[in-house]
């Protein structure tokens, strides 16, 4: 078996110090009912943080379901809308691409809270404020640009050539899509879905502005960061979990691109 | 490119472009309207610029602009300065090392803020381990904590962007320059820098815009005063002033205008440079 290189060992050591150690402390904090300074080790372990996750007063469970459903719905809507635009950008079919890029980049660069405050004015009139539909629409403003930009990298002359071969072989459009295009862009599609999901999952300001009445995970987490570190750590672990799962799934899906 | 192909390209962008334009333009118009109508739902005949006047008269505005610019510059410059050597060090290594290095990219900012508070706040784990805290990072007046959270998240992000632009061709050109007697400084300035300049600029703009409009990070690790523009807007919104919502909207329109202006200025500069080249 090959020995791991020095660089890999150094990277692992740096990752342990910078990433793993802080995360381990977060796990310990989530299960430390009593951890007073100056002690480096908790005085008492317990499940107060976990209990709070399932308690109706914290609304963490409700927020988890809400954040998950909003992120999944937003991504599911964003991908088909983004598909043709990503394709046109990837295949360089635009005469003036810069204005299109600027239009796509602006919602990403402008703070989500600013976008949310503006959208909430319309959502109140349309009865969309404090609703899941309102949250999905608002998240679409920032998720859609990311999905377009990431998905565009999957298209290009190689995919067009493969599709042309499929056409020559007599495949119907839906067969070309299922048997040629989707497998060819599978890796980039997986990455676009993960990024879309994570962008929606991490929105705080936007969600606060358009749906303060609807609990989302970051909305539940933030007050606890100031008030109760144990519950905050427990919510943080839940907040991290789908991101990790989504990354693993994307890594698996992208392992064997065409 | 034929006329039909060009038309097809524009048509293909239409669904996503229309959705983004509708939602984003709606958001900007909504914020502008909220800033001039203190009572929601009133007709435009009741429009007033009082909220804007109040915002510009507030001494906290100057401090918020200064603090937002300060944290943006700190986080962006430190991230860019660390990302270049990190990318150069990682470029000869495989996906395993790169994946380990880029682990913080998908982590939400609030989780990084939580970890920063746990370790670096007064009475946190670092102080317990060392017996003292060498510097104040969490809730410090200079905004170091805010910058640190962004540096932790954005250095791997910028590094990945730079790594994507470093191909094998660049190594060959560097080798050729070394054979011709160029020192590592000269190779960095004349061979590497021209290649990484554009992705660095684009990435740095993105990071800068993110930090400038930062909201949840200053709320968790930033000081109560001075505030960033977004947290000042949030204070106005939750405050007791009659036109608090209008003032918050005015501040957020201001942040949006600054971000849009910087984006357009950089696009214009980039286009001018391309035309000259």
- CB-CB: which of A15, A82, A112 is closest to B16? A82
Chain B from 2 to 61: CB within 8 A of any A CB: 5-6, 8-10, 12-17, 19-21, 23-24, 26-34, 40-41
Contacts of B153 in chain A (CB under 8 A): none
Would you call A25 an interface residue with chain B, using a CB distance cutoff of 8 Å? yes
Sort out which chain B residues have CB atoms less than 8 A from A221's CB and list them: 110, 114
* Residue B77 touches chain A, beta carbons under 8 Å: no
Which residue is closest to A218 within chain B, CA to CA?
Answer: B110
Q: Has residue A3 been placed in a domain?
A: yes
Asked if A144 and A75 sit in the same domain, the reply is: yes
Q: Which two tokens stand for residue B121?
A: 């706040």
Task: Please indicate, yes or no, if residue A15 is contained in any of the structural domains.
Answer: yes
- Quick check: ipTM above 0.95? no
A231 with A33: CB under 8 angstroms? no
Check if A24 contacts B (Cβ < 8 Å): no
How much is the pLDDT for A66?
94
- Flag whether residue B257 sits within 8 Å of chain A, measured between CB atoms: no
Instruction: With respect to residue A225, please indicate whether it lies within any of the assigned structural domains.
Output: yes
Q: Which two tokens stand for residue A110?
A: 């402008």
Q: Which residue from B218, B251, B205 is spatially nearest to A114, judged by alpha carbons?
A: B251
- Euclidean distance between the first and the last CA atom of chain B, given in angstroms as a whole number: 23
- Residues of chain A with Cβ-Cβ distance to B27 below 8 Å are 107, 114-119, 141
Q: Chain B contact for A153, CB < 8 A?
A: no
Report the domain count for chain A: 2
Residues in B closer than 8 angstroms to A95, CB to CB, are 1, 6, 9-10
Token output for A75: 């991504």
Residue A131 belongs to a domain: yes
Structure tokens at A199: 């962008």
DSSP structure string for chain A: -PPPPHHHHHHHHHHIIIIIHHHHHHHHHHTEEE--TT-SS-SEE-SHHHHHHH-TTTTHHHHHHHHHHHHHHHHHHHHHHHHHHHHHHHTT--SSHHHHHHHHHHHHHS-HHHHHHHHHHHHHHTT-TTSHHHHHHHHHHHHHHHHHHHHHTT-SHHHHHHHHHHHHTT--HHHHIIIIIHHHTHHHHHHHHHHHHHHHHT--HHHHHHHTTS--HHHHHHHHHHH-HHHHHHHHHHHHHHHHHHHHHHHHHTSS--
Q: What is the pLDDT of residues B80-94, one digit of tens each?
A: 999 998 888 888 777
Q: Is residue A51 part of a domain?
A: no
Please indicate whether, in this complex, the C-beta atoms of A26 and B34 are within 8 angstroms of each other: no
Say yes or no: A159 and A201 in one domain. yes
The enclosing domain of A150 has a CATH number of 1.10.3720.10
Position A53 in a domain: no
Question: Residue A55 pLDDT > 50, yes or no?
Answer: yes
pLDDT computed for residue A153 by the predictor: 87
Same domain membership, residue A172 and residue A203 = yes
Closest CA of chain A from B177, distance in Å: 26
Query: Within a 10 A sphere around the Cβ of B155, how many other Cβ atoms?
Result: 24
A-B CB pairs within 8 A amount to 246
Return mean pLDDT, chain A: 88
- Least CA distance to A142: which residue of chain B? B20
- pLDDT number for residue B101: 80
Residue A19 and residue A66 in one domain: no
Backbone phi and psi for residue A33, each to the nearest 5 degrees, phi listed first: -70, -30
Is the Cβ pair A109, B205 closer than 8 Å? yes
A38/A65 same-domain check: no
Q: Given an 8 Å threshold on Cβ–Cβ distance, is A222 in contact with B100?
A: no
Q: B248-251 long-range contacts, Cβ below 8 Å, gap at least 24?
A: B248/A117, B249/A117, B249/A118, B249/B31, B249/B32, B249/B34, B249/B35, B249/B51, B250/B35, B250/B51, B250/B52, B250/B55, B251/B55, B251/B61, B251/B64
Predicted local confidence at residue B173, as pLDDT: 86
Mean pLDDT of A220-224: 91
- What the block records as the tokens of A134 is 């309102």
Q: Please state, in angstroms and rounded to a whole number, the distance separating the CA atoms of residues B235 and A74.
A: 29
Q: Distance between the two ends of chain A, CA-based, in angstroms?
A: 29
Residues 183-202 of B with CB under 8 A from A: none
- Contact flag A93-B1 (C-beta cutoff 8 Å): yes
Which of A56-65, A196-205, B40-49 shows the lowest per-residue confidence on average (mean pLDDT)? B40-49
State how far the alpha carbon of B48 is from the alpha carbons of A149, B39, B243, in Å: 40, 11, 11
The answer to whether A238 faces chain B, any CB pair under 8 Å, is: no
Structure tokens at A115: 């976008």
> Is the per-residue pLDDT at A247 higher than 70?
no
Q: What is the pTM of this model?
A: 0.89
Q: Which two tokens stand for residue B217?
A: 């990070």
- Whether A52 maps to a domain, the answer reads no
Within this chain, do residues A70 and A198 fall inside the same structural domain, yes or no?
yes
Q: Please judge whether A118 and B26 are an interchain contact, meaning their C-beta atoms are less than 8 angstroms apart.
A: yes
Q: How far is B173 from chain A (nearest CA, A)?
A: 24
Measured between alpha carbons, how far is residue A209 from residues A57, A63, A86 in Å? 22, 16, 29
Residue A44 phi, psi dihedral angles, 5° rounding: -150, 130
Please give the Cα distance from B184 to B193 (Å, whole number). 12
Q: Which residue has the tokens 């977004």?
A: B230
- Candidates B216, B248, B271: best to mutate against A (most CBs of A within 10 A) is B216
Q: In chain B, which residues have their Cβ closer than 8 Å to the Cβ of A194?
A: 106
Quick one: pLDDT at residue A257? 47
Taking CB atoms and an 8 Å cutoff, what residues of chain B touch A105? 263
Of A106, A239, A247, the CB nearest to B260: A106
Q: How far apart are CA B101 and CA B160, in angstroms?
A: 9
A125 & A69 share domain = yes
pLDDT value for B74: 96
Q: Which residues contact A16 (CB under 8 A, 6 or more apart)?
A: none
pLDDT number for residue A87: 92
Binary contact (A88, B253; C-beta < 8 A): no
Based on the domain organization, do A171 and A215 belong to the same domain? yes
**Helix locations, B45-189, DSSP H:** 50-57, 59-90, 95-101, 109-120, 125-130, 144-165, 168-179, 184-187
* Arithmetic mean of pLDDT over chain B: 88
pLDDT tens for each residue of B163-173: 888 877 788 88
pLDDT over 90 at B218, yes or no: yes
Q: Are residues A68 and A33 in the same domain?
A: no
Q: List, for residues A1-51, the tens digit of each pLDDT value.
A: 455 567 667 777 877 788 888 889 999 999 999 998 888 899 999 999 999
Are A18 and A91 within one domain? no
Q: What percent of chain B has pLDDT over 70?
A: 96
Dist. CA B226–CA B218, nearest whole Å: 10
A17 or B273, higher pLDDT: A17
Specify the pLDDT at position A258. 44
The answer to whether the Cβ–Cβ distance between B118 and A15 falls below 8 Å is no
Q: How far is B14 from chain A (nearest CA, A)?
A: 7
Long-range pairs of A57-66 with CB within 8 A, sequence gap ≥ 24: A58/A220, A58/A224, A58/A231, A58/A235, A59/A215, A59/A220, A60/A217, A60/A220, A60/A235, A60/A238, A62/A215, A63/A215, A63/A216, A63/A217, A63/A219, A63/A220, A64/A217, A64/A238, A66/A132, A66/A135, A66/A214, A66/A215, A66/A216, A66/A217
pLDDT of residue A251: 63
Residues A163 and A225 in one domain: yes
Among residues A24, A60, A56, A28, the alpha carbon closest in space to that of A43 is found at A28
| Residue B262: pLDDT over 90 | no
Do A155 and A65 share a domain, yes or no? yes
For residue A74, being part of any structural domain is answered with: yes
Cα A173 versus chain centre, distance:
31
DSSP label at residue B190? I
Query: What is the domain extent for residue A243?
Result: 60-255
Scanning B180-243, the segments in alpha helix (DSSP H) are: 184-187, 193-212, 216-221, 229-238
Q: What is the pLDDT of residues B101-157, one digit of tens each?
A: 888 888 899 999 999 999 999 889 999 999 888 888 899 999 999 999 999 999 999
């Amino acid at each position: 078996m090959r020995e791991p290189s020095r660089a890999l060992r150094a990277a692992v050591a740096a990752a342990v110090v910078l990433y793993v150690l802080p995360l381990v402390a977060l796990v310990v904090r989530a299960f430390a009912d009593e951890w007073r300074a100056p002690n480096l080790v908790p005085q008492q372990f317990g499940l107060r943080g976990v209990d709070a996750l399932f308690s109706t007063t914290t609304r963490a469970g409700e927020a988890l379901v809400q954040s998950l459903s909003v992120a999944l719905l937003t991504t599911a809507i964003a991908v088909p809308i983004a598909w043709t635009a990503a394709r046109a950008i990837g295949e360089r079919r635009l005469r003036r691409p810069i204005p299109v890029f600027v239009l796509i980049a602006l919602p990403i660069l402008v703070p989500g809270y600013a976008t949310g405050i503006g959208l909430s004015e319309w959502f109140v009139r349309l009865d969309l404020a404090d609703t899941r539909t309102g949250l999905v629409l608002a998240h679409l403003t920032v998720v859609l640009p990311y999905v377009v930009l990431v998905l565009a990298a999957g298209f290009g002359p190689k995919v067009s050539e493969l599709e042309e071969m499929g056409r020559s072989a007599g495949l119907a459009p839906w067969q070309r899509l299922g048997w040629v295009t989707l497998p060819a862009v599978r890796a980039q599609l997986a990455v676009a879905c993960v990024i879309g999901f994570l962008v929606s999952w991490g929105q705080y300001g936007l969600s606060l502005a358009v749906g303060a009445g609807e609990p989302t995970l970051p909305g539940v987490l933030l007050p606890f960061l100031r008030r109760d570190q144990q519950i905050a750590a427990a919510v943080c672990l839940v907040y991290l979990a789908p991101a990790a799962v989504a990354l693993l799934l994307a890594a698996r899906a992208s392992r064997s691109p065409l | 490119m034929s006329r039909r192909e060009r038309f097809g390209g524009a048509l293909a962008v239409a669904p996503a472009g229309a959705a983004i334009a509708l939602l984003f333009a709606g958001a900007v118009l909504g914020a502008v309207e909220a800033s001039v109508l203190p009572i929601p739902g009133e007709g435009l005949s009741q429009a007033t610029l009082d909220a804007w006047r109040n915002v510009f008269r507030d001494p906290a505005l100057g401090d918020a602009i200064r603090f937002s610019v300060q944290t943006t510059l700190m986080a962006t410059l430190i991230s860019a300065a660390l990302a270049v050597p990190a990318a150069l060090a990682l470029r000869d290594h495989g996906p395993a090392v790169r994946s380990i290095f880029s682990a913080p990219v998908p982590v939400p900012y609030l989780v990084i803020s939580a970890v920063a508070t746990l370790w670096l706040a007064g009475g946190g784990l670092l102080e317990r381990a060392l017996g003292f805290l060498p510097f104040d990072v969490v809730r410090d007046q200079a905004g170091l904590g805010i910058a640190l959270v962004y540096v932790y998240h954005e250095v791997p992000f910028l590094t990945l962007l730079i790594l994507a632009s470093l191909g094998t061709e660049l190594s060959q050109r560097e080798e050729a320059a070394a054979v011709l007697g160029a020192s590592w400084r000269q190779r960095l300035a004349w061979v590497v820098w021209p290649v990484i300049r554009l992705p660095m600029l684009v990435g740095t703009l993105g990071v800068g815009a993110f930090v400038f409009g930062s909201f949840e990070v200053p709320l968790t690790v930033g000081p109560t005063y001075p505030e960033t523009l977004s947290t000042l807007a949030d204070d106005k919104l939750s405050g007791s002033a009659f036109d608090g919502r209008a003032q918050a909207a005015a501040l957020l329109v201001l942040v949006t205008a600054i971000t849009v202006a910087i984006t357009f200025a950089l696009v214009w500069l980039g286009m001018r440079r391309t035309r000259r080249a």
